[in-house]
């Protein structure tokens, strides 16, 4: 495992059709999006996930947790937690869940500002959302207020 401040982290924005992915370095506090993983009813191609893990060799997984605005759990939060447990079970890499409320809305706004026209089924914002999730995790790890 790398030094605590230099950990490499893979972040995931769980979804039923696509799972956004971002990679980041804790020391730099920066993240960049990777290609989203296609999913069937929330189940990714685990061989593709293994390829990502082999390529990046992360020290930690971060998975977005879609809580309701009143902090209660939803069906999607339960499914995201299950995805995080499967990541840990398959790869033995620690996994942290992080509140992702508002990340998809913010990702769509960023995509619109970047010239996307709003066809989010074709122009996935899942990677942008994964970057926002990871950047939020970095901010909390440094004791900064959430975005």
List the chain pLDDT tens, one digit each, 147 residues: 445 568 999 999 999 999 999 999 999 888 999 999 999 999 999 999 999 999 999 999 999 999 888 989 989 999 999 999 999 999 999 999 998 876 666 666 666 676 554 444 445 788 888 999 999 899 887 665 554
pTM: 0.84
* Burial class of 28 by CB neighbour count within 10 A (0 to 12, 13 to 18, 19+): exposed
Domain 4-141: assigned CATH number: 3.30.420.140
**81-108 residues labelled b (16+ CB within 10 A) or e (exposed):** bebbeebeeebebebbbbbbbbbbebbb
Q: In what helix (H) or strand (E) does residue 92 lie, and over which residues does it extend?
A: none
The pLDDT of residue 58: 98
């Amino acid at each position: 495992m790398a030094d605590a401040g230099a950990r490499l982290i893979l972040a995931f924005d769980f979804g039923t059709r696509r799972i956004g992915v971002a990679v980041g370095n804790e020391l730099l506090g920066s993240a960049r999006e990777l290609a989203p993983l296609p999913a069937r009813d929330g189940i990714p191609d685990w061989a593709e996930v293994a390829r990502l893990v082999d390529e990046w060799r992360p020290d930690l997984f971060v998975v977005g947790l879609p809580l309701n605005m009143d902090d209660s759990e939803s069906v999607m939060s339960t499914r995201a937690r299950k995805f995080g447990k499967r990541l840990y079970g398959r790869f033995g890499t620690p996994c942290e869940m992080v509140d992702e409320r508002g990340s998809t809305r913010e990702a769509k706004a960023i995509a619109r500002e970047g010239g996307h026209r709003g066809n989010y089924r074709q122009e996935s914002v899942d990677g942008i959302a994964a970057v926002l999730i990871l950047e939020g995790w970095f901010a909390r790890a440094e004791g900064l207020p959430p975005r």
